[in-house]
């Protein structure tokens, strides 16, 4: 288990270093995710110990946002100007985005051939 926690941290570390060197506009952990993904592609399977580490992290991911959330909410003065426009835009825009994205994806995914059906270009 410890070796795979180390692997995850190595992926993140290499991600952080590469975004600094290449000045990429994406976060280090996202590059780390791509690196771990490439590792899995090369390996061809998910080792069960890695699976355990990741499910522990991922099933409890919500709690990890709390420290940052407390930090930004403690600075409430920032939300005083344009409070209502920001609040309303935030709620409406988020809900509309969920609906639009889900319906587009549902529509496009439905029009593709179902599982196992022969593809036109195969």
**Interaction residues for other proteins, span 40-99 (CB under 8 A):** 40-41, 46, 50-51, 53-54, 57-59, 61-75, 78-79, 81-82, 84-86, 88-99
Q: Which residues of 28-41 are buried (b: 16+ CB within 10 A; e: fewer)?
A: beebbeebbeeeee
Given the complex with other proteins, which of 18 and 54 has the nearer CB atom?
54
Which residues in 17-36 contact other proteins (CB under 8 A)? Answer: 25-30, 32-36
Question: Is 1 an interacting residue with respect to other proteins (CB under 8 A)?
Answer: no
Rounded distance, CA 49 to CA 5, Å? 9
Rounded distance, CA 73 to CA 70, Å? 5
């Amino acid at each position: 288990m410890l070796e795979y926690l180390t692997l995850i941290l190595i992926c993140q570390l290499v991600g952080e270093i590469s975004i600094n060197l290449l000045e990429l506009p994406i976060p280090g952990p996202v590059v780390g995710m791509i690196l771990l993904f490439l590792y899995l592609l090369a390996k061809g399977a998910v080792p069960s110990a890695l699976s355990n580490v990741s499910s522990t992290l991922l099933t409890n991911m919500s709690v990890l946002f709390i420290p940052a959330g407390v930090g930004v909410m403690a600075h409430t003065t920032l939300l005083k100007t344009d409070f209502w426009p920001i609040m309303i835009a935030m709620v409406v825009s988020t809900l509309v985005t969920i609906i639009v994205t889900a319906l587009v994806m549902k529509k496009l995914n439905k029009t593709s051939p179902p599982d196992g059906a022969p593809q036109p270009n195969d």
